Amino acid sequence: MFLFCLSLFPFATELIGIKGLSSFRTSLYASVSIFPGLGYMALWSQIHSKKTTSAHTSWSKQIASVVLYLAAIPMAYFRPVASLALIAIVSVLWLLPPRSESHPQ
C-alpha cells in the first residue's frame, strides 16, 4: 500500500509541471501527499508493535505531517504557493534529526 501511494506522486507532479500551478492541481498534490503519510503511519505502527527497542521517530512527527498535509488542501484554494510551502515544511520536518530520549549526564 505504501509503495502504491508513493507511485501517485509522479502523476501529480507532472500535472503541475505541464499545466502550471492552480488551486485544484495544488490541492490534488496535497491530497496525494496524505496517502504515503497514512501508509507510513500504518507501516510504522506494525513494525513498532513487534519491536522491543525504542523507535527513532515519534507519533508527533507523523501526526504533524498528516495535519500539515490536510491543512495544505484548503490552503491551495486561497494561496497555492502557501499550500506548497506547508508541504515543504513537512519535508524539512523529516530532515531534522530525532530528539534523543536519553539525556546526557
- The pLDDT of residue 38 is 87
Give long-range contacts, CB 8 A cutoff, 24+ apart: 78-82. Answer: 80/21, 80/22, 80/23, 80/25, 80/26, 81/21
Average pLDDT, the chain: 85
Q: What HEC string does the chain produce?
A: CHHHHHCCHHHHHHHHHHHCCCHHHHHHHHHHHHHHHHHHHHHHHHHHHHCCCCCCCCHHHHHHHHHHHHHHHHHHHHCHHHHHHHHHHHHHHHHCCCCCCCCCC
- The pLDDT of residue 88 is 94
- The pLDDT of residue 77 is 95
pLDDT at 103 over 60: no
Over the stretch 38-75, which tens digit does the pLDDT of each residue have?
888 888 888 877 776 665 567 788 889 999 999 999 99
Cα distance from N-terminal residue to C-terminal residue, the chain: 43
- The pLDDT of residue 40 is 85
Over the stretch 21-33, which tens digit does the pLDDT of each residue have?
899 999 999 999 9
